[in-house]
Structure 1
Amino acid sequence: MSAKRIGAGPVLLSGPVRRLERSVRHFQAESRALGTGRTIIALAQASILLLTPASYLFVPVGGAETEVSCTPPVQSISLYCLAESTDRQLLNVVLLLLLLIVASGILPRFTTVLHFWASLSIGQSISLPDGGDAVAQVVTFFLILACANDRRTWHWQRPRDAGPMGSAGQIRQGLAWAGWWGVRLQVAYVYLNSALAKLPVGPWSEGSATYYVARMENFGAAGLLAELFRWATGIMVVALLSTWGTILAETLIAVFLVQRGSRQVWAALISASLHVLIIIQIGIVSFGLIMVGAVICAASRGIDTQGPSLLRRFLPSEDHHRLRPPRH
């Protein structure tokens, strides 16, 4: 009896191992949806450097220019530390050009390294980072792995058949699979953590958070629709729905991202809708675009495989032949 139990161990393990091996082998490492997410993140970061002078990113304290922390090993590799004596506005231009190269989609296997370095330089060095900068650092790190087996010249090109792979290709394929899962789990955690953190907070649990947010002096509703949002959130039902709806949307994004197929597409759609509404109401454009781009990266496989079939439901029949899922 004991011998049978001992011998049964590898048999019991072989099923999950085989499924894992099959999942890695059939994983589509080349993805236009993932490329779209990368481009959105890079353009959002580029907008910060393009529209914000260095004097606003490195806030003066006591009349002197803010010192950049260059603690090794992470912060010391920031561009602002490696070129510490160079004018920071010039360094902003250098990072801006790097991000535009990344956004173009050229050589995704290699430009992901530049993207992570630019994200780290921004997030670790500027004086006034926001949550989007932190998310971009983590996501772009995993994108180095996720694009390890992307052999295309541009990430806008149609994915190719993987074909037979040598040992090096198999390693890169495994890294790509692990990197995509890293993005997927990390982004799902960010949204779930955000939703759960709101529950114990009085205004969120009571349903009045958006009422107060719309009326904050420095972070409230702004722009042409400011008065409309302040008026709308003054209606109890609207305030309740928008407050609890935010928590529900974040929870659904997190749950859908760890599920298969069309659920990932819905995660991307919910994220885009949520952040577009936040952008219209209170601004924070770069943060919203970074989060939308991160969700698209996390949901890229579902978008690639299920996106065309979902679009067919809303397009005339003569346009259906243009929408074909990627080859595997």
Structure 2
Amino acid sequence: MIRHLSQWINQRITSFNPWTNVYGLVRSIFAFSLFITLFFNDATLLFRPSSGNPTWVKTDTLSMFSFVPETSFALNLIRIICLILLLVVMSGWRPRVTSLFHLYIAYSINSGATTIDGGEQVNLVMALLLLPIALTDNRKWHWQNISSINRHYSKTIAYIAYVFIRIQVAILYFHSFTAKLDNDEWLDGTAVYYYLLDPMLGLPNFLMNPLHFLLASPFIVVITWVTLFIQLLLVCALFMSKNNWSKVLWCAVLFHELIAVLLGLISFSIAMLAMLIIYLRPLEQVFVWQKNKRRK
């Protein structure tokens, strides 16, 4: 039995090829999520004193923002440097090098900024878990597709990282699902009603009137329970056949982009989009751009 298991694992690793434009697109989307956070928010909005922390940047961190004076000019200068580096990451150039830039920027924002959401935390965790794949990627651009690679040790490292990524995503949704079961509003189907009416995270004014009839209808219960069902479905996707991944992916993407529109969590939803692609898109199932289709 152990021998058969060893042969099965060896076969999976031998046929595994993570260095495709699927993983490349994921890196670019994660970097874009951080980019829009820094681009549309001044440093004085991201970094500010808070309860128990009188300084602008959180203390006791290695964040790059903590190495400069706590002035608007200095913090914005670092912000602009980060924007330039993130553009390089998004371009796909030398993933082995730029993955380190991406990880450090994600860490600096997550550990140094005060006003952040879950998207920055997801970005940091995924940048760290993607690092073994990136460091074993010797391509010049992460948009290139390599059909045959014989580097067994690199494949083994990348495969282990990929398995951990999928397990981590499933754990994230499992934790989110089970945490909601302890909340009476999620069980009785009214949680989405309260979220959409929340003064800070709720519906924008231009959607409040058109969707008021939906909030006041019994259908809001169905929407609340569908949210729970989708999260449970994403947990189960860890054990599904690859043939079913695409259906779950489209369902989950629609779910998160609705969150982006209704609650305004744009950078968070973009980060979740990247996470869903690495979770539910086989890495060997490369994206074929329109230009390549015409050549074929």
TM-score, normalised to structure 1, is 0.81
Residue in structure 2 matched with residue 246 of structure 1 by the alignment: 227
Give the match's secondary structure for 2:285. helix
Residue of 79, 85, 92 corresponding to 1:92: 79
CA contact (8 A) 2:22 2:287 kept: no
CA contact (8 A) 1:185 1:258 kept: no
Residue in structure 1 matched with residue 285 of structure 2 by the alignment: 305
Residue in structure 2 matched with residue 209 of structure 1 by the alignment: 191
CA contact (8 A) 2:58 2:114 kept: no
Residue of 8, 14, 19 corresponding to 2:3: 14
Shift of the alpha carbon at 1:251? 1.4
Matched, 1:81 2:66: yes
Q: Which amino acid aligns with 1:260?
A: S
Residue in structure 1 matched with residue 252 of structure 2 by the alignment: 271
- What is the count of residue pairs matched by the alignment? 290
Identity over aligned residues, as a percent? 24
Residues 230 and 210 (structure 1), Cα distance of their counterparts in 2 relative to 1, 3 Å cut: farther
Q: Distance in 2 between matches of 1:231 and 1:219?
A: 19
Residue in structure 1 matched with residue 32 of structure 2 by the alignment: 43
Give the match's secondary structure for 2:200. coil
Residue in structure 1 matched with residue 273 of structure 2 by the alignment: 292
Residues 236 and 262 (structure 1), Cα distance of their counterparts in 2 relative to 1, 3 Å cut: same
CA contact (8 A) 2:48 2:57 kept: no
Residue of 229, 254, 266 corresponding to 2:211: 229
Measured against aligned partners, the alpha-carbon deviations of 1:221-251 in whole angstroms (never above 9, x if no partner) come to 11532322332121112x0121011111111
Shift of the alpha carbon at 1:101? 1.1
CA contact (8 A) 1:148 1:175 kept: no
TM-score, normalised to structure 2, is 0.89
Shift of the alpha carbon at 1:125? 0.6
Shift of the alpha carbon at 1:14? 1.3
- Higher deviation after alignment, 42-51 or 101-110: 101-110
CA contact (8 A) 1:261 1:306 kept: no
Residue in structure 2 matched with residue 111 of structure 1 by the alignment: 98
Shift of the alpha carbon at 1:206? 0.4
Residue in structure 1 matched with residue 263 of structure 2 by the alignment: 282
Residue of 99, 117, 134 corresponding to 2:121: 134
Q: Distance in 2 between matches of 1:221 and 1:251?
A: 25
Residue in structure 2 matched with residue 52 of structure 1 by the alignment: 41
Q: Which amino acid aligns with 2:194?
A: Y
Q: Distance in 2 between matches of 1:115 and 1:297?
A: 17
Shift of the alpha carbon at 1:306? 8.9
CA contact (8 A) 2:56 2:70 kept: no
Q: Distance in 1 between matches of 2:287 and 2:257?
A: 20
- Higher deviation after alignment, 16-25 or 243-252: 16-25
Residue of 171, 177, 193 corresponding to 2:175: 193
Residue in structure 1 matched with residue 18 of structure 2 by the alignment: 29
Measured against aligned partners, the alpha-carbon deviations of 1:75-125 in whole angstroms (never above 9, x if no partner) come to 32x211344567111111111111111111111222112111111011111
Give the match's secondary structure for 1:305. coil
Residue in structure 2 matched with residue 219 of structure 1 by the alignment: 201
Q: Which amino acid aligns with 2:64?
A: L
CA contact (8 A) 1:268 1:299 kept: yes
Gap runs ≥5 in structure 1: 1-11, 309-318, 324-328
Measured against aligned partners, the alpha-carbon deviations of 1:158-201 in whole angstroms (never above 9, x if no partner) come to 23311x33xxxx32221111111121111111112111111120
Residues 213 and 89 (structure 1), Cα distance of their counterparts in 2 relative to 1, 3 Å cut: same
Root-mean-square deviation (CA, aligned residues, Å) is 2.5
Gap runs ≥5 in structure 2: none
Residue in structure 1 matched with residue 293 of structure 2 by the alignment: 322
Q: Which has the higher contact order (CA 8 A, sep 6+)?
A: 2
